[in-house]
Structure 1
């Protein structure tokens, strides 16, 4: 599992200040925290997210961000130690889907899709490329211009060897409109898109 696991799904700032704080702290941990300190920062943030969802178990937004944070932490840890984290992330995202599937501009679907193509398949975990495509396309249907929805779908296509379609999707991601209150996340994501585009183009 790579550090790109995110489930991130980006999205406009939440109206809930507590969820907005999670968003901002996630971006700081993901894009500004030194590599050697990143895991600890995400561990701390995952505890804050768990506390928030314990207080608000019916908040799809809080559950989604707990899933995103756990997914990112799993990407940092890697290996077998990450499996319990991605399973918990999927559990929270699936719960969010039952509450408010279109929350955070489709980020539930994009996050689930990113998990399904980045984690191992059975018997180790639940990786499933068919489900990944279905969820990623659902996310795009809700947020067709979104930077994260297009980035993760583009990465999925690259992993599947669909290079031309991946390039088109990633170029679209680069042109995504800025998200309110998400300047750091947008900047970090664009750098990831540019790096991935170089890999895609090397296959032409």
Structure 2
């Protein structure tokens, strides 16, 4: 029995190591593409990164983290692409994130809720798209239940509240985003997100004075 158990355990550990490495690789590359590239170079890089994310999903079809990052890449690629093609990518991102929630709602500290909520907030509403402010609010607040101190969910919710003209409440969540603990494994993403939070905070401050 032990002879069969040991190889099986090794296979599980090997799979976990591959998944962790893939996650780190995609997170790092996403930050580079999203924050350091522009225009055609960025679109081509997102296309290549999406292919990598899809390979991960195909290799691990029950891994919620894979679907989360496929959805994140699809949604940010949509933002870079713009136009009619962006809506198709946004719909694909919604499907990826909904699949992640069906598999494991708490994966990556509820990141699927945060990303999906942002999609519902940013995509145009009917008849052009599926945008829905009420749905966005529900999802973004759910994300904060899983990760109340994270920079991303607090920033996304602050941005949503700003767009809803709820400036004082937006200020509270922007301040929480600025106080969020650093993520040592994601230095570029943290640095650039903090710049986004600071820019949002400056806009909010002009409204509350």
Structure 1 partner of 2:68: 64
Q: Distance in 2 between matches of 1:117 and 1:34?
A: 24
1:101 is matched with 105
Name the structure 1 match of 2:51.
Answer: 47
- Which has the larger share of helix? 2
State the TM-score, normalizing by the size of structure 2.
0.88
Task: Give runs of aligned pairs for residues 22-37 of structure 1, distance below 5 A.
Answer: 22-37=26-41
**Pairwise CA RMSD of aligned residues?**
1.3
- SS of aligned partner of 2:85: helix
1:178 maps to which of 179, 182, 187: 182
The answer to whether residue 123 in structure 2 is matched with residue 119 in structure 1 is: yes
Q: Relative CO higher for 1 or 2, CA cutoff 8 Å, sep ≥ 6?
A: 1
Q: CA deviation at 1:197?
A: 1.1
The number of residue pairs the alignment matches comes to 191
Deviation (angstroms), 1:33 = 2.3
User: TM-score normalized by structure 1?
Assistant: 0.90
Match for residue 166 of structure 1?
Answer: 170
Q: Unaligned 5+ residue runs, structure 1?
A: 1-13
Structure with higher Rg: it is: 2
Deviation of 1:15 (Å): 6.2
Consecutive unaligned residues of structure 2, counting only runs of 5 or more, are 1-17
Match of 2:144 in 1: 140
Task: Name the residue aligned to 2:84.
Answer: 80
